[in-house]
């Protein structure tokens, strides 16, 4: 593979695409949002169980490209257990990295595993794929469970 | 399919030289991500031959002036070039008069024009328009915009699993409230060639006019509007090797005469006072404002170019590529072709079990291969097949079997990495 392409499709991303983590609907979810990317028709449902301002559990379902699926998978494994504010801060940093606003190694490293998405910045049309899960999660924080039960 | 290929080869004796044609298209020499460009996104837009590029450069270099009404040399020259292009379009589709050729920005504007003037002059609450389930958004949304003002019903001809319209269902949709049948000639996402002759015949038995969206037909199929007997025909210059920003609406003279103008402004009038304005004659009645002169003349050159090679020869070559590509892609077990109509144009939509079209598109781009991924502005088609998107390879006269091989090789590599 071409080097730039390899940066985009890192092994971690390919793995998460093939075997996504938390790819299910959690029964105890009290927050829910549906994400939609009209550009590619991708749909993503995010289920969150919040307890005392913390993400007790989180999962997702839907169809999407490798980038969006891996992003949802990695995001769900990383934010599980975090306070909501911390997840929101993480998203801001993530967004800055994938849009190329933060490029210094040190800052990127702070993202931990999420740093594998840094290659996305070279592919402007794919930024939305990487951020769909995050946007949807943030929306879910604000949306009470009634959407879930209408599912 | 195999016998068809043999037949094609037999007919192909009159010296269609794909390498000679390729040499006319400078962009085909581009290197993309270190690989030779393999341009298979022709349904989105075709590349331009040098002759078209030269025409536009020449126009701005030595002919530019506003047309009509000018008395100076350049204005007369530009007017002549512009009107010559209209004659070329007229001859190309065998319209009976230049009055029937209206220049627009493209297929989209052509359909919007018809929708607008039909809304003004013909449509009433309760009327119905028939379209099909495989329309491009540009033949859906203009009708929906009317629905904001009037109670117009859109009736949709359903399609089957192969991507063909169900003709019997179409017949059932026709009734005394039907005011227009507006249908795509060739589907841009499925490749289906619709039985437009039969549709028009059926419609005319009920005195219903028919608009054909020929955006994907004009560059592949010889169209004679008098034989077809369609009432309107819309197409875009950029899909037939011409510039963007220029398109055509053909309409039968009598019908156009009976319809009110679309936009108001200069050029479309014959006399203006503050009390009353009389409209110009056809086709100018429908061409308000300064036209896209350079690109119109460029379209004329594109039509000359296509005519020189001959649409018949072009379609023989393209069908050969289509058959070869279809056979090659069917060899890949992980791949499924969406749209298996009996009569197809050179468009192949495909999906994979486990690979999303966007990943395919990005991956193949790095092999120098340009394909399109997404819903192709036909979301109802995606819904019909229960898929979010497809990958689409579409072929033009300059594509080769070698390029199909490059695509197949790229896809095999893709499957290796993603599966
Ligand atoms: C079948 C069909 N109809 C209409 C259009 C719209 O053409 P344009 O965008 O040039 O107006 C297209 C182009 O994508 C098409 O493929």
Residue of B349, B354, B356 to mutate for A, most A C-beta atoms under 10 A: B356
Q: pLDDT above 70 covers what percent of chain B?
A: 97
A43 neighbourhood in chain B, CB within 8 Å: 388
**What's the fold here for domain B53-308?**
3.40.640
What pLDDT is attached to residue A118?
A: 92
Cα(A117)–Cα(A110) distance, rounded to whole angstroms?
13
A123 has a chain B CB within 8 A of its CB: yes
Q: For residue A95, give the H/E element and its range.
A: helix A84-98
What pLDDT is attached to residue A10?
A: 92
Q: For residue B313, give the H/E element and its range.
A: helix B311-330
Q: pLDDT at residue A112 above 70?
A: yes
What pLDDT is attached to residue B39?
A: 98
Altogether, the residues listed in chain A come to a count of 151
Calculate how far, in angstroms, residue B300's C-alpha sits from the geometric centre of ligand 1: 19
- Mean pLDDT, to the nearest integer, of A53-80? 95
Q: How confident is the model at residue A43 (pLDDT cuts 50, 70, 90)?
A: confident
Q: Which of A1, A4, A64 sits opposite B356 (nearest CB)?
A: A64
Calculate how far, in angstroms, residue A38's C-alpha sits from the geometric centre of ligand 1: 19
Q: Which of A1, A67, A126 sits opposite B417 (nearest CB)?
A: A1
**What is the phi/psi pair of residue B225, to 5°?**
-65, -25
State whether the beta carbon of B237 lies less than 6 angstroms from ligand 1: no
| Beta-bridge mates of residue B250 | B101, B233
- Mean pLDDT, to the nearest integer, of B196-209? 98
**What's the fold here for domain A3-142?**
Sufe protein. Chain: A (3.90.1010)
CA-wise closest residue to B184 among B107, B114, B102: B107
Domain regions of chain B by residue span: 2-49+310-418, 53-308
Pairwise CB contact (< 8 Å): A40 & B357 = yes
Q: Are B205 and B357 in contact (CB under 8 A)?
A: no
A56 or B69, greater pLDDT: A56
The string of pLDDT tens digits covering residues B30-78 is: 999 999 999 999 999 999 999 999 999 999 999 999 999 889 999 999 9
Q: Does domain B2-49+310-418 have CATH number 3.90.470.10?
A: no
Supply the mean pLDDT for chain A.
89
Q: How confident is the model at residue A4 (pLDDT cuts 50, 70, 90)?
A: confident
What pLDDT is attached to residue A109?
A: 79
Q: How confident is the model at residue A147 (pLDDT cuts 50, 70, 90)?
A: very low
CA-wise closest residue to B50 among B23, B86, B81: B23
Q: Which chain A residue is nearest to residue B383, measuring alpha carbons?
A: A41
Is residue B377 among the annotated active site residues?
yes
The complex scores an ipTM of: 0.87
Residue nearest to atom 12 of ligand 1 (CA): B215
Calculate how far, in angstroms, residue B226's C-alpha sits from the geometric centre of ligand 1: 23
What pLDDT is attached to residue A145?
A: 57
Q: pLDDT above 90 covers what percent of chain B?
A: 91
Supply the mean pLDDT for chain B.
95
B34 has a chain A CB within 8 A of its CB: yes
Residue of A3, A4, A5, A19 to mutate for B, most B C-beta atoms under 10 A: A5
Q: pLDDT at residue B164 above 90?
A: yes
- Nearest-atom index, ligand 1, CA of B236: 10
What pLDDT is attached to residue B371?
A: 98
Q: Are B179 and B208 in contact (CB under 8 A)?
A: yes
Q: Are B224 and B116 in contact (CB under 8 A)?
A: no
State whether the beta carbon of B41 lies less than 6 angstroms from ligand 1: no
Q: pLDDT above 70 covers what percent of chain A?
A: 95
Q: Which of B377, B380, B405, B413 is catalytic?
A: B377
**Pair of tokens at residue B277:** 């304005």
Residue tagged 């499925």 (tokens): B190
**What is the phi/psi pair of residue B241, to 5°?**
70, 10
Q: Which chain B residue is nearest to residue A43, measuring alpha carbons?
A: B388
Question: How does strand B369-370 pair with strand B38-39?
Answer: parallel
What is the CA A72 to chain-centroid distance, rounded?
4
State whether the beta carbon of B188 lies less than 6 angstroms from ligand 1: yes
> Whole-model pTM?
0.92
The string of pLDDT tens digits covering residues B210-236 is: 999 999 999 999 999 999 999 999 999
The string of pLDDT tens digits covering residues B360-400 is: 999 999 999 999 999 999 999 999 999 989 999 999 999 99
Q: Which chain A residue is nearest to residue B365, measuring alpha carbons?
A: A5
Cα(B293)–Cα(B60) distance, rounded to whole angstroms?
10
State whether the beta carbon of B136 lies less than 6 angstroms from ligand 1: yes
Cα(A57)–Cα(A80) distance, rounded to whole angstroms?
6
The 8 Å CB, 24+ separation contacts for A96-99 are A97/A121, A98/A127, A98/A130, A98/A131, A99/A127
Pairwise CB contact (< 8 Å): A41 & B379 = yes
Q: pLDDT at residue B12 above 60?
A: no
A66 neighbourhood in chain B, CB within 8 Å: 355-356, 359, 418
What pLDDT is attached to residue B8?
A: 46
Q: pLDDT at residue B22 above 80?
A: yes
Domain regions of chain A by residue span: 3-142
CA-wise closest residue to B236 among B255, B215, B222: B215
Calculate how far, in angstroms, residue B236's C-alpha sits from the geometric centre of ligand 1: 7
Q: pLDDT at residue B144 above 90?
A: yes
State whether the beta carbon of B182 lies less than 6 angstroms from ligand 1: no
Domains B2-49+310-418 and B53-308 share a fold: no
Burial class (CB within 10 angstroms; exposed 0-12, middle 13-18, buried 19+) of B375: buried
By most ligand atoms within 8 Å of CB, the mutation choice from B188, B214, B234, B375 for ligand 1 is B188
The string of pLDDT tens digits covering residues B297-328 is: 999 999 999 999 999 999 999 999 999 999 99
- Mean pLDDT, to the nearest integer, of A42-48? 92
What pLDDT is attached to residue A102?
A: 83
Altogether, the residues listed in chain B come to a count of 419
What number of CA atoms fall less than 13 Å from residue B385's CA on the CB side? 25
Calculate how far, in angstroms, residue B278's C-alpha sits from the geometric centre of ligand 1: 33
Q: pLDDT at residue B256 above 90?
A: yes
What pLDDT is attached to residue B14?
A: 60
What pLDDT is attached to residue A2?
A: 84
Got the DSSP string for B66-114?
Answer: --SS--SHHHHHHHHHHHHHHHHHHHHHT-S-GGGEEEESSHHHHHHHH
């Amino acid at each position: 593979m071409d080097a730039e392409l390899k940066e985009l499709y890192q092994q971690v991303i390919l793995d998460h695409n093939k075997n996504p983590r938390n790819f299910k609907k959690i029964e105890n979810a009290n927050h829910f949002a549906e994400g939609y990317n009209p550009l590619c028709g991708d749909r993503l449902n995010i289920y969150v169980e919040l307890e005392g301002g913390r993400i007790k559990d989180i999962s997702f379902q839907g169809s999407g490209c490798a980038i969006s699926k891996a992003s949802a998978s990695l995001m769900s494994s990383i934010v599980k257990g975090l306070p909501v504010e911390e997840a929101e801060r993480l998203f801001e940093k993530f967004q800055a990295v994938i849009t190329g606003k933060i490029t210094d190694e040190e800052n990127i490293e702070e993202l931990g595993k999420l740093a594998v998405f840094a290659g996305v910045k070279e592919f402007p049309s794919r930024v939305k794929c990487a951020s769909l899960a995050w946007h949807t999660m943030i929306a879910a924080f604000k949306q009470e469970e009634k959407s879930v039960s209408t599912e | 399919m195999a016998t068809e290929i043999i037949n094609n080869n037999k007919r192909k004796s009159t010296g269609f030289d794909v390498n000679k044609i390729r040499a006319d298209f400078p962009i085909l020499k581009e290197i993309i991500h270190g690989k030779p460009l393999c341009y298979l996104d022709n349904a989105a837009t075709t590349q331009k031959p040098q002759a078209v590029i030269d025409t536009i450069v020449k126009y701005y270099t030595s002919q530019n002036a506003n047309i009509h009404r000018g008395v100076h040399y350049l204005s007369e020259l530009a007017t002549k070039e512009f009107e010559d292009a209209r004659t070329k379009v007229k001859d190309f589709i065998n319209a009976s008069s230049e009055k029937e050729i209206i220049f627009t920005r493209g297929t989209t504007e052509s359909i919007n024009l018809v929708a607008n003037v039909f809304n003004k002059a013909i449509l009433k609450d309760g009327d119905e328009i028939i379209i099909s389930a495989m329309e491009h958004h540009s033949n859906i949304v203009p009708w929906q915009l009317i629905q904001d003002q009037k109670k117009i019903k859109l009736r949709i001809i359903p399609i089957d699993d192969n991507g063909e319209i169900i003709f019997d269902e179409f017949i059932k949709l026709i009734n005394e409230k039907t005011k227009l049948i507006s249908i795509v000639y060739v589907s841009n996402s499925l490749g289906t060639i619709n039985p437009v002759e039969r549709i028009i015949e059926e419609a005319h038995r009920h005195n219903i006019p028919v608009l054909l969206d020929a955006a994907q037909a004009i560059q592949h199929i010889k169209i004679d509007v008098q034989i077809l007997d369609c009432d309107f025909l819309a197409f875009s210059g950029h899909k037939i090797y011409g510039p963007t920003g220029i398109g055509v609406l053909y309409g039968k003279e009598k019908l156009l005469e009976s319809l009110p103008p679309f936009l108001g402004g200069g050029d479309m009038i014959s006399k203006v006072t503050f009390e009353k304005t009389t409209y110009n004659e056809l086709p100018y009645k429908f061409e308000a404002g300064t036209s896209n002169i350079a690109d119109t003349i460029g379209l004329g050159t594109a039509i000359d170019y296509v005519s020189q090679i001959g649409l018949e020869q072009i379609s023989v070559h393209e069908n050969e590529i289509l058959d070869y590509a279809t056979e090659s892609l069917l060899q890949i077990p992980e791949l499924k072709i969406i749209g298996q109509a009996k009569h197809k144009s050179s468009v192949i939509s495909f999906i994979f079990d486990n690979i999303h079209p966007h990943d395919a598109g990005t991956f193949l781009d790095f092999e120098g291969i340009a394909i399109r991924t997404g819903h192709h502005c036909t979301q109802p088609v995606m819904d019909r097949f229960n898929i979010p998107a497809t990958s689409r390879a579409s072929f033009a006269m300059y594509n080769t079997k070698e390029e199909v091989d490059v695509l197949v090789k790229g896809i095999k590599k893709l499957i290796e990495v993603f599966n």
